Amino acid sequence: MNSLARIFLDIGPPLRTHRNEKQVLRVPKAMRQRIRFLTYNVHSCFGTDRRLDPARIAAVIAECQPDVIALQEVDVGRARTGGIDQAHMIATHLNMEAEFHPALHLEDEKYGDAVLTALPMRLIKAAPLPSSGEPRGALWVEIDVAAVKLQVIVTHLGLRGAERLRQATALLGPGWLGGMAQGDAHVVLAGDLNATGRSTAYRLLARQLSDAQLLTGAKPRPTFPSRLPLLRIDHVLIGKGIEVASCRVHGSTLARSASDHLPLLAELDVVMRGKQEPS
């Protein structure tokens, strides 16, 4: 069974959550800091034309002008991609720093997730997730956004529904999201979840976090495959204290050839402590 079939089979009834439908609270602009957040599965920098080109991936990202970038399927030191450190190379092109976590580690060859930013960033945790097929993991960093410590978790979930459910459960557990002081934490969970809006794993995560695409009032757009997008499997999920100004799939001509996924760009307003008013 191919990956598309596995994703289609892992579905339930349409999700309706109180977090996505509740009244939106707004705060004055002076109490918010806007950032541009991008999640992108870069397919080891192999394009749909089968050309290996990390610089092209960096160019696609530059088109979006993000402040924080969550990458999946990043190669570091792998023979198939010339032994380069793709996370470092892309970060260098963008004048940013990178944190990388290898979900797969075979001797000197690594493959996994990364976070890139020019903002002050600290590694909190990088660890594997329960996996029955290809090894999967997650990377948690803390980023200084004005006076707020933004908690960013990037992950790439498995192809099988039961496996994704175990991984989502782990992410909600005490070692990850469940261990945060939810009243204080500003959280973004992003990545290729290999899960549509009807999947069990997505529904579990969406009970605790809000889907940025669903908060804009616009129709959610798919991200995969890049040439003719059919599936919405790349997500930006946010916690309390974050508002969504916009969220869109970046479908430029360059993006449609650079990877098999399209990047998802969200403009997020990180809310400082203060009184909120109903919009």
d(CA 19, CA 215): 10
State what percent of residues in the chain have pLDDT above 90. Answer: 82
How far apart, in whole angstroms, are the C-alpha atoms of residue 167 and residue 158?
Answer: 8
pLDDT tens for residues 122-149? 999 999 999 998 999 999 999 999 999 9
Residue 114's Cα: distance from chain center in Å?
Answer: 10
163 vs 215: CA distance, rounded Å: 28
pTM: 0.89
| pLDDT at 24 > cutoff 60 | no
Domain boundaries, the chain: 3-12+25-272
- Give pLDDT, residue 21: 43
Looking at 3.40.109.10, 3.60.10.10, 3.30.450.40, 2.40.40.20, the CATH number of the domain 3-12+25-272 comes to 3.60.10.10
95's tokens: 């004048």
Exposure string over 77-105, b if 16+ CB within 10 A, otherwise e? bbeebeeebbbbbbbebbebbbbbbbbbb
The answer to whether the beta carbons of residues 11 and 198 sit under 8 Å apart is yes
Token duo for residue 17: 């959550």
pLDDT at 234: 99
State how far the Cα of 22 lies from the Cα of 242, in Å rounded to an integer.
14
Q: Span 102-128, mean pLDDT? A: 97
